[in-house]
Structure 1
Amino acid sequence: MVWTEGLDEPVMSGPVTSIEHVWDADNGGAGTVTFSGVSDEQILFGRTTYPIPGESIYNQTIDAAVGRGPVGKVITDLVNLNAGPGARGNRRVPGLVVEPSTLGQTVSWYSRLDNLGYKIKDLALANGVGWQVRQTTAGEIEFSVYTPRDFSASVLFSKEAGNLGGFSYKLTAPTATRFIAAAQGEGKWRYMRAYRDDGNGPELDPNEESGVYTVPESEWFTYWPELLIDRRDIPIAYNDLRHPVNPETGSETGDFEPLDDAVAEDALEAAPIAALSLTPFDLPTLKFGKHYRLGDTVSAVVNGAMITDVLREVRLSDGEEGARVTPLVGSSYASETPSIYREIKRVWNSLRKLEARR
């Protein structure tokens, strides 16, 4: 459990996963012991979503779990039924408690053998909520959903305010701005829809049928980089004219919401990334954990411009110069992780999704 001075709760917690003891000329005395571990969020990345969570894997008689509701309830239900007290006995995580939630907008959801952690991460990012896992002083592991607190007026980092020692920022171009979403089907009968994102989220490409070219408003490209989104797990019924239909009535009105939501999730990963790393001075009136925390909206003055965004990442260190906090704010996938690792992670996520849909 990792604590910061003046807080009654730990800022993070999790299991130790490796211990290394080195004794040599550079590590005298008793040597150097290094403990490494992961945060308790890792629990959820070690679980798979069952189509019927209450049944054995041998009795999964439906293709997928589907539903509609507030995103907070969707996330907490997925966690509760696949890892929490509501899960089958052999899949429960000891000590895990799930706080009920009805936060956020109403969403349609679809899950088949997904990685639980990635599934709820995508749902949260696409719908403006966050989630966290913390050990409590009572020894429980508590899962909760929250909406970002807006501290943009009170938590302000700037050289003029005397609480900012430095900054660095990085902008990265999108990997795709046009998306071809392929739903269930085979060959020429596979149903597909084209979307494009001009910076305000994906929408149906208005020029797909006409073929008219429109210059993107994006500052990055003068063309539309494309990405195929394989969602063969989402069924869309259609007639001989290839028009979507309601499978119950036969009328030419189909339900595209699950496909729209899937595109919105993948478009977040492909979106441009803005990451601002701050080196603040920890003042009595502005301390991490006490006055602001992960998931809050904060502000900073950079090159004379006011930047307001969500605090996505915090690096904590403690050495000879004392404790140090390095916050990172920016767009949904903002991170200081090197680009090569982010690209490998993207490929891995795509493969993982494909495995779950077979």
Structure 2
Amino acid sequence: MPDLPPLTVQVRDSNLHIIGVVSDFTSLTISPRFNAVGAYVLNISADSPKADLLVPGNGLVIRRGSTVLMSGPIREPNWSRSESDGGSGSLTVNGVDDMFVLTGTCWPNPTSAPGSQADSFYKISGVVAETAMRTLVNLNFGPGAQSSRKISNLTLAADGGHGVSITRQVNQFDSLLAVLQDIGKTASLGFRVIQVGSALQFQIYEPADLSASAKFSFKLGNLTDASYSVTAPTCTKAVVVAGGSSSHRVVSVTPRADPAFPGPWVEQFVDLTSVDTASTDLTAQMAQAADEALTSGAAQGNLTMNPIDTPRLQFGRDYTVGDIVSCQVRDDFFADVVREVGITFDSQGGYVAKAVIGSSDSTDNQDVLARQFQYIARIFNRLRRLETRKPS
């Protein structure tokens, strides 16, 4: 095993102040996820002098040297003891990372009081993706939010101006995390929330393309096993429909062929019927909606592998979630985004890492449920349109 910076597990209080260090855990598993809420599980003896610190309201900051691998609140401490256990039994502490603060809703008018939410949507018009994402976080939960919604210790990193210019409509009370994921996917941006000092910081970054240097294969000796699967596309032609209620209907059809899946087009209805077709930026909004549908519905590859750190290639130092790496699949190297890494540390300082590259659908239940809900919503919308056509 190569020499690595020391692992430090700190305990923080509700004000994000460090109140202790846990060095006597029996095992620790962390699962950082790209543009999604990660999680951790820590096991420790209930007799540990630090056990009383591991309660809801407090949290963990997990570092490898000076790098924060994950930070987040404790959610579920669970105690157990069997007849064969010595002492007071064991404690299992479950927690989530600080991305959890982004799971709230986007208000149609974030600056207005709850009783004055008359708008049906929030508009993003002609700004770069990073600026749009920062604005959404700032006005809903950050320093610019109403006092009743503001997370007092949430700050925003400086705006780097990353990403393409976007124009889109955020429907009332959409999930903030889902909107950020959509924008991040189409603009090829990553985002995270981690503890910096005694505050939480929302950060946006451009993942690195390390596919030429970060390679995993059995021949290189940094891979123990791997499996790969492919999911067919769910959208290769986006049918975007705007207006139709208070304004005339406008329809656009945007195809995007997938050479790996020849055959009939896979059409998907994209509902922009709440958008007034008299809007001056209608074309940009419809193009944005089509691009997001085609990106989300593209064919997905899923590669699960067990990498081994070597002196030349180490997780957290040479690559991290969001970066593009490559892994040998049969005779060729497959390059894609590191979606998730599950790392289990033991009390002797050893650890095992398991990375997921490509689509996270098969490993992240939230993604699976989201697709199911989207499918059910499309069925409901079709039934609703049929209902309106029934003769009176």
Could you say which TM-score interval applies, normalised by the shorter chain?
Answer: 0.7 to 0.9
**Gap regions ≥5 residues in structure 2:** 1-59, 382-392
Structure showing the higher strand proportion among its residues? 2
C-alpha deviation, 1:153, in angstroms: 2.5
Q: What are the within-5 Å matches in structure 2 for residues 72-221 of structure 1? A: 72-101=130-159, 102-113=161-172, 114-136=174-196, 138-186=197-245, 189-199=248-258, 217-219=259-261
Equivalent pair of 2:246/2:276 in contact (CA under 8 Å): no
Q: 1:9 to 1:62 in 2, by over 3 A?
A: same
CA–CA separation in structure 1 for the residues paired with 2:269 and 2:247: 16
CA–CA separation in structure 2 for the residues paired with 1:93 and 1:188: 39
Question: 1:228 maps to what in 2?
Answer: 269
The one-letter amino acid paired with 1:235 is D
Question: 1:57 maps to what in 2?
Answer: 114
Equivalent pair of 1:71/1:105 in contact (CA under 8 Å): yes
C-alpha deviation, 1:17, in angstroms: 1.6
The one-letter amino acid paired with 1:69 is V
Q: 1:26 to 1:195 in 2, by over 3 A?
A: farther
C-alpha deviation, 1:105, in angstroms: 1.1
Q: 1:98 to 1:284 in 2, by over 3 A?
A: same
Per-residue CA deviation, residues 157-213 of structure 1 (Å, 9 max, x unaligned), is 1222221222111111112323322222239954332232213xxxxxxxxxxxxxx
Question: 1:346 maps to what in 2?
Answer: 371
Q: 1:289 to 1:160 in 2, by over 3 A?
A: same
Per-residue CA deviation, residues 220-251 of structure 1 (Å, 9 max, x unaligned), is x52223322222222213xxxxxxxx77xxxx
Query: Is 1:69 matched up with 2:94?
Result: no
Partner SS for 2:144: coil
CA–CA separation in structure 1 for the residues paired with 2:373 and 2:82: 38
Name the Cα RMSD after superposition. Answer: 2.8
Partner SS for 2:184: helix
Matched residues, percent identical? 27
TM-score by length of 2: 0.73
Query: How many pairs are equivalent?
Result: 317
Equivalent pair of 1:234/1:259 in contact (CA under 8 Å): no
Equivalent pair of 1:181/1:193 in contact (CA under 8 Å): yes
Question: 1:242 maps to what in 2?
Answer: none
The one-letter amino acid paired with 1:18 is E
Equivalent pair of 2:222/2:310 in contact (CA under 8 Å): yes
Equivalent pair of 2:242/2:249 in contact (CA under 8 Å): yes
The one of 15, 25, 42 aligned to 2:100: 42
Equivalent pair of 1:71/1:127 in contact (CA under 8 Å): yes
Equivalent pair of 1:313/1:335 in contact (CA under 8 Å): no
**Gap regions ≥5 residues in structure 1:** 200-216, 238-245, 248-253
TM-score by length of 1: 0.80
Per-residue CA deviation, residues 132-169 of structure 1 (Å, 9 max, x unaligned), is 11112x12111111011122232221222221222111
The one-letter amino acid paired with 2:99 is E
Equivalent pair of 1:73/1:100 in contact (CA under 8 Å): no
CA–CA separation in structure 2 for the residues paired with 1:25 and 1:318: 26
Query: Is 1:300 matched up with 2:327?
Result: yes
